[in-house]
Structure 1
Amino acid sequence: MSEKQQRLVYSVIEFLNQSIEDGTVKADDKESLEVAIQCIGEAFNVDPLNQEQAEKLSVKPATLQTIFDVFIKTRDKISSGAPSSPASAAASSSRSKAPSDEDKAQAETHKQTGNTLMSSKKYDEAIQSYDKAVAMDPTNPVYYSNRAAAYSSKGDHLAAVGDAEKALSVDPNFVKAYHRLGHAQYSLGDFEAAASAFERGLKLEPSNSGLKSGLQNAQARIEPAGGSPPTSESATPTTRRPATGTGPGLGGMADMLRGVGGGGGGMPDLASLMNNPQMMAMAQQMAANGGLASLMQNPAVANMMGRVQSGDMPSMEELMSDPGLREMANQFGGAGR
């Protein structure tokens, strides 16, 4: 079962559940529809109540309804614009390929108006201006690209994908459209498609920093074949954790211990301990060579830190009765004297 198929099924289930909640379905039919939802989910191994699946399969902010609406509108536009005869087809093609100078001038005026509206965050009005620019000069990829940016700014990334693709169909060498397309695909959660868009753009402009950054971010979110998220070793340079004492493990432990105080149950002042220069130097060295990560994965350490965080401070006698913690304490003691 591919992830794309599961995304489609998840969107269908979301649509059916929404239809139950908003009253689209009659009360007498709700129970039958709920059974159908359960059967569909089991058949495709999709559980809408599973938070992990929800984050992975959801296409929000798009919905099945908005996706379908875009398709219908696109099909209607194509149908309404279809010429009725070969002669009219030739005339229509001639107009689309060679707008007059006056048409181009008007299109530029509409584009400038749209840009001004974008600066004011009036995205719907900006889209209307870009619509007019496209109508006057459908051969200019900039108008589609700008409209894609407006759609993305208002959260309609699916429409942005359509406009970015349209811009590239007009001019496959228009690099900015690859950035628009990659950004929209990334926002929709299709990281592989986003990476592909950024890569296509980089083939045309290898030094483009925006495309490079976008590609790194997309690649960092793509799960390897085994299904596990990227590790710090396989992640792109922008996602690797710094190998210093300021890493998440040390910082989180220090923040948690600062509020504990000292002396409880024979324990030392842990806040002062974490502020001790020698201790911090040792912790930084552990973080640099991977020792801190191993330490925080120790079950005994994890249990102790959980108790500390909940306010249940273990005594020194209790800690020293645990062989793993006693060995850890000896290591800390030897290094921190």
Structure 2
Amino acid sequence: MAVKGLVAAIVQFLTQQLEDGDITADSRESLEVAIQCLESAYNVQASDAPPDFDLQDTYKSFVNYNKPAHIQPATAEAKAEAERLKNEGNMLVKADKYQEALNNYTKAIQLDGHNAVYYCNRAAVYTKMGNHQQAIKDCHSALAIDPTYSKAYGRLGLAYTSLQKYKDAKECYQKALEMEPDNESYKYNMTLMEEKLTQQGVCNMVLSGNTTSEGLPEMDLTSLLSNPTLMNMARQMLSDPAMQSMMTNLMSGNVDQGRRMDALIEAGQQLAQQMHNANPDLIESLRRQMGGNPNDPDPSQQN
């Protein structure tokens, strides 16, 4: 019933957009099709929406739920003291005194709760302390104050990375790069997340049993071939004279079946060893059948 009520509320909202919204003829046609599809799929009508339920108001409440509760702006004296506490907190972070730094940032927020920097800096400390969920909450608070704060997106990406939520992390780094296109740290972390997602995809295919008739996992070759780390490893391995000689023997018709199998096994062992030497993190991740638990550096320093 809850799902049908929600769908009915969506239908109701879209119907109101048809009546009140300033939309083009093409958009109107698309909305009409969407409404018909929802009504047919869930067997609902706009009139089935829960009474006194406004979908748009609910959405606004959700978007704003992380905004600080402080209403009154801070006085000049409070802002000055908050800034002093923040600066002191930065020094404490450099001295690895994370709990003391956390206390300073919290006091700064209490004095001036509309400063996004204080939330972002506290998020960085929460990440260093391993409290990634709280770091995510503080990053969202910072972005609610300043949606263009690239550093908050970067630290949000770091928190998601620590929780192995690589897709969410990648989206955060993409946002950060939109605001700072030349930031090398964000570029590096974006590439790293793409690699993690590739590794995770391979592991998921193995776990799901999604393999070919030969027992090998079905892989998205396009994604693999576009992965810079994997391609670099392949180039390094193929440039090795020993590997070249072994591949020549494998493809040679002069080698009997038994010797070819031995050569294939040896090639596989050497391939695994060279992959491990080139990227031990990749091998360990595959061995664990899930992506690694990275301890990536913070993409930026304290403000």
- Indicate the residue corresponding to 2:241 in structure 1: 282
Instruction: Confirm or deny that 1:179 pairs with 2:170.
Output: no
Of 250, 263, 266, the residue aligned with 1:301 is 263
Give ranges in structure 2 of 5+ residues lacking alignment. Answer: 1-64, 206-218, 253-259, 271-303
Shift of 1:167: 0.8
Cα distance change on mapping 1:154 and 1:307 into 2, 3 Å: closer
- Indicate the residue corresponding to 1:149 in structure 2: 124
1:159-211 CA distance string (max 9 Å, x none): 11111111111100111011100011011000010011111112222222111
Cα distance change on mapping 1:282 and 1:163 into 2, 3 Å: same
The within-5 A match list for 1:212-227 is 212-222=187-197, 223-224=200-201, 227=204
Of 242, 248, 251, the residue aligned with 2:233 is 242
* 1: CA distance, partners of 2:249 / 2:224: 16
Shift of 1:226: 9.7
The one-letter amino acid of 1:103's match is A
* 2: CA distance, partners of 1:306 / 1:239: 16
The one-letter amino acid of 1:241's match is N
The one-letter amino acid of 1:242's match is M
Of 87, 110, 113, the residue aligned with 1:135 is 110
* 1: CA distance, partners of 2:80 / 2:103: 17
The one-letter amino acid of 1:153's match is K
- Indicate the residue corresponding to 1:13 in structure 2: none
- Number of equivalences: 181
Shift of 1:242: 3.3
* 1: CA distance, partners of 2:175 / 2:154: 10
The one-letter amino acid of 2:77's match is E
Give ranges in structure 1 of 5+ residues lacking alignment. Answer: 1-77, 83-91, 251-279, 309-337
- Indicate the residue corresponding to 2:212 in structure 1: none
Shift of 1:284: 6.3
The one-letter amino acid of 1:129's match is N
Instruction: Indicate the SS of the match to 1:147.
Output: helix
Shift of 1:230: 7.2
The within-5 A match list for 1:43-62 is none
Flag the structure with larger Rg. Answer: 1
| Conservation of the 8 A alpha-carbon contact between 1:244 and 1:285 | no
Query: Segments of 4+ in structure 1 off by > 6 A?
Result: 229-232, 290-295, 305-308
| Conservation of the 8 A alpha-carbon contact between 1:148 and 1:163 | yes
The one-letter amino acid of 1:101's match is A
Shift of 1:281: 6.2
Structure number with greater CO (CA < 8 Å, separation at least 6) is: 2
